Amino acid sequence: MRALLRCRASKFEHRSPFLAGFRTIVTTCRAVVLPHFGGPEVLQLRSDVEVPNLKPDEVLVRARAVSINPLDTRMRSGYGRSIFEPLLPVILGRDISGEVAAVGSSVRSVSVGEEVFGALHPTAVRGTYADYAILSADELSAKPGSFTHVEASAIPFAALTAWRALKSTARIKEGQRVLVIGGGGAVGYAAVQISVASGCHVATTCGSQSIDKLLAAGAEQAVDYTTEGIEFTMEGKFDAVLDTIGVPDTERIGIHLLNRGGHYMTLQGEAASLTDRYGLVFGLPIATSILLQKQLQYRCSHGIEYWWTYMRADSEGLDEIRRLCEAGKLKIPVEKTFPITQVMEAHEAKDKNTIPGKVVLELD
Ligand SMILES: NC(=O)c1ccc[n+]([C@@H]2O[C@H](COP(=O)([O-])OP(=O)(O)OC[C@H]3O[C@@H](n4cnc5c(N)ncnc54)[C@H](OP(=O)(O)O)[C@@H]3O)[C@@H](O)[C@H]2O)c1
């Protein structure tokens, strides 16, 4: 891996009313590139990766911290190859916290010099593991004032995934009962906090080491999935179940624990794995037909709504998430940071599960 190298330029043009896709003065920067799929050793920190022109709705962000999500390590190993293989080399990374370095001609929501945080959508090709990342304006919001860049970078992708499922899909309301399967992970912990902040009664499953943290976050019941039979221990039924684990057993239990009219949402939708196996042309229709079949089946057998939910950019959601962070109602603890130059070691630690919580890469 190359030694630490600086960006080739550090002055920026501001918004131009005349140019649609204008040229920033930054032309190349450091970035972690994935030339082909494989283990952590395939990651390359290159010093001369092109920074493309900004489109009118885009923002150039000087990255200070980028968190590692399971999607990053899975993408590195070949998940989503039907989409990414023809586009290699790609840059990994979804989450970011940093400063606005330049904005496209139509951007009004953020300005140069402002501290921002946000996340790219799951299929973005130019990721955030770079000194300069490009996100659309609706993928960014002001960084929560009291958060460091490291703390802020842990939030957006996980919290927006939970937000999409709970607020956009299930439309949870005050007084409803929500079950989060896998509350110990980043998405699950965010989901518990968002549900509590929405006035819901929340139960969750997690490892023994996470129980105290989840009860302190407002969960009324936290069941250790390693020692207790979840379906017999959970008290009552639920209006919404967010299943971050999404294996057949958790799916069966989640559906069994729902009230009629409730929503079951899994984060492990099969669209990507089926398109990887059968290609985009056949895989997508197969995935759609499997989903429709399951939706119909569970509507008839249990009277519930069944969903595969995915992270999606949502500027209003991200603003709400920022407000929850600032109000002390939402936080995802960071277990360890690595400098970007040690990205291989950081990915290795996630692969081997030697660091169970959030890992963040810092860019000087
Ligand atoms: N569909 C999407 O758009 C989307 C978006 C984001 C994430 N995801 C997926 O969602 C999953 C969670 O993501 P994340 O960022 O939250 O990952 P994470 O922070 O690595 O969390 C994973 C957690 O799962 C818990 N766990 C494992 N097996 C469990 C079980 N049987 N029951 C309950 N908890 C269990 C563990 O918690 P304990 O420490 O408590 O044991 C672990 O910490 C990943 O598979 C990821 O790929 C999907």
C-alpha dihedral sign at 264, 265, 268, 271: positive
Q: What's the CATH fold of domain 28-154+333-362? A: Quinone Oxidoreductase; Chain A, domain 1 (3.90.180)
Q: Which residues pair with 55 in a beta bridge?
A: none
Entry pTM: 0.93
| Ligand 1 pocket test, candidate residues 206, 266, 354, most atoms within 8 A of CB | 206
Domain range list for the chain? 28-154+333-362, 158-308
Q: What's the CATH fold of domain 158-308? A: Rossmann fold (3.40.50)
pLDDT in tens, 284-338: 999 999 999 999 999 999 999 999 999 999 999 999 999 999 999 999 999 999 9
Token pair in block for residue 299: 């509507």
Token pair in block for residue 319: 């603003």
Query: Does the pLDDT of residue 15 top 70, yes or no?
Result: no
Average pLDDT for the chain: 93
Atom of ligand 1 at shortest range from CA of 181: 33
| Ligand 1 pocket test, candidate residues 228, 244, 270, 354, most atoms within 8 A of CB | 244
pLDDT in tens, 29-52: 999 999 999 999 999 999 999 999
Mean pLDDT along residues 242-253: 97
pLDDT bucket at 24, cuts 50 / 70 / 90: low
Q: Determine the distance separating the centroid of ligand 1 and the alpha carbon of 221, expressed in angstroms.
A: 19
| Residue partners of 352: CB distance under 8 A and separation at least 6 | none
| Fold match flag (28-154+333-362 vs 158-308) | no
Nearest protein CA to atom 32 of ligand 1, as residue: 182
User: What's 327's DSSP letter?
Assistant: T
pLDDT bucket at 20, cuts 50 / 70 / 90: very low
Burial class (CB in 10 A: 0-12, 13-18, 19+), 55: middle
Q: How far is CA 102 from the centre of its chain?
A: 24
Residues framing ligand 1 (Cβ under 6 A): 69-71, 122, 158, 161, 181-182, 184-188, 205-207, 210, 225, 244-245, 267, 310-311, 356
Token pair in block for residue 24: 């920033």
Nearest protein CA to atom 48 of ligand 1, as residue: 267
Nearest protein CA to atom 8 of ligand 1, as residue: 267
Task: Give the closest residue to 137 by CA, choosing from 55, 247, 52.
Answer: 55
Task: Give the whole-angstrom CA distance, residue 88 versus residue 267.
Answer: 26
